[in-house]
Amino acid sequence: MKRMFSAPAFASTEAAEAGSAAAPALSPHVALTREPPRPRRRWVQWLSANPQERVLLWCAAIVFIGVVWQVVAVAFVRSPLFFPSFTDTVAHAWQLYVSGHSIYGDFAQSMYEAGVGFGLSLTGIPLGLLIGLSRRLMIAIEPVNSAMYALPHIALVPLAIIWFGLGVTSKAFIVFISAFFLILINVSAAVATIGRELQDVAATYSASRWRTFITIILPGSVPFIFVALQLAIGRALVGVVAAELFASNKGLGYLLGVFGNNFETADLFVAIATFAAVGAILSVLFGLIGRRFEKWRIAA
């Protein structure tokens, strides 16, 4: 099949060449004498590459940082109490996570608190959609929203403990407050800024308010919702750490305090790295999902 196809193609090239000899002025080969584009360097290809290569690149970066870290710790600082080396930290992580199993309960506790608080803060999505629909409501909640958004949520920790005690609830509450208003503000603003243009389209076809909401406002808000969730993840983790640091007897934040007080710096590093890893993984996850909806963004 392939050969059958290529044979006449070959013949026609020859014919063209023969023709070009007769009439050189219009030779079709002139256009092809331009240099072919140089193949791109491998690492450039990597940067724009598929998921596996992306992961490889990330691993390379992590290894690089590990090596620099190790060199700085061993050759320059030389004080494990002040700045434990990379291998030290990995060893402690191994002990905390694999051989000792001592950190899991705390990890689970923190994730549970963050999960409950974050889950509740998702009510900010429907509420934000609702508020964004009404200009009056938008204006009415402006002061509350701005205050709650700008307030350092750590300031609420003592209050949360008075109200909800030292257990899970007070932490979940702080997480909720941290994430909820951020989601509410972003989602309601997204709705309010969805172009008049598409709503006019709906109006000229006499679409009901409900249909306009379902077909235009809701899908139009989706990219903004994912951006808000991505930001809220970071806020939620800050909330958990702050609340646990202040008063608790379990959780990664609690461990941070214990490790710090006991100058167990390598363990401290492990706890910090755990937060960093959880934050990064969730943020990348939401980012990846959000990117699928990026093309839903209505062009201005």
Partner 1 sequence: MRSTAGRSGVAEEAGPPIAADSEVVALDGVSISYAHRGKPDVEAVRDFSLRVNRGEVMSLVGPSGCGKTSLLRAIAGLRTLTSGRIEIRTAAGQAPFAVVFQQPSLLPWRTAIQNAAYGIECMTKDRKLTRSRAAGALAMVGLAGYENYYPNQLSGGMQQRVNLARALAVQPAVLLLDEPFSSLDAQLRERMQTEFLGVIEETNATALFVTHQVDEAVYLSDRVAVMSSEPGMLRSVLTVDLPKRRDARDRRGGDFMELCDAVAATLARPAGSEDLA
**From 207, 231, 258, 272, residue interacting with partner 1 (rule: CB under 8 A):** 207
**CB 293 → partner 1: shortest distance, Å?**
8
3-class DSSP state of 299: coil
Q: Does 292 bind partner 1 (CB under 8 A)?
A: no
Q: Considering only 58-66, 147-155, 199-207, 258-266, which stretch makes contact with partner 1 by CB under 8 A?
A: 199-207
Q: Print the SS3 string covering 209-271.
A: HHHHHHHHHHHHHHHHHHHHHHHHHHHHHHHHHHHHHHCCCCCHHHHHHHHHHCCCHHHHHHH
| Region of 299 on the Ramachandran plot (φ > 0 left; ψ -120 to 50 alpha; else beta) | beta
Query: Is 201 a binder of partner 1 (CB under 8 A)?
Result: yes
241 binds partner 1 (CB under 8 A): no
Q: Which of 22, 25, 200, 261 binds partner 1 (CB under 8 A)?
A: 200
Closest distance between partner 1 and the C-beta of residue 206, in Å?
6
Phi, psi of 207 (to 5 degrees): -65, 140
Q: Counting contacts by CB under 8 A, is residue 295 touching partner 1?
A: yes
Q: Pick the piece of the chain touching partner 1 (CB under 8 A) from 87-95, 215-223, 233-241, 249-257.
A: 215-223
172, 218, 252, 288 from 105: Cα distances, Å: 17, 39, 9, 29
Nearer to partner 1 by Cβ, of 64 and 296: the residue is 296
Question: Nearer Cβ to partner 1, position 40 or 211?
Answer: 211
Distance CA 259, CA 84 (A): 13
287 binds partner 1 (CB under 8 A): no
Tokens of 52: 């596996």
Stretch that binds partner 1, among 19-27, 70-78, 205-213, 242-250 (CB under 8 A): 205-213
Residue 144: both structure tokens together: 């509350």
State yes or no: residue 139 binds partner 1 (CB under 8 A).
Answer: no
**Which position among 95, 215, 230, 283 is part of the footprint of partner 1 (CB under 8 A)?**
215
Rounded-to-integer distance, Cα 263 and Cα 79, Å: 12
Q: Given the rule CB under 8 A, which residues bind partner 1?
A: 197-198, 200-207, 211, 215-216, 219, 222, 295-299
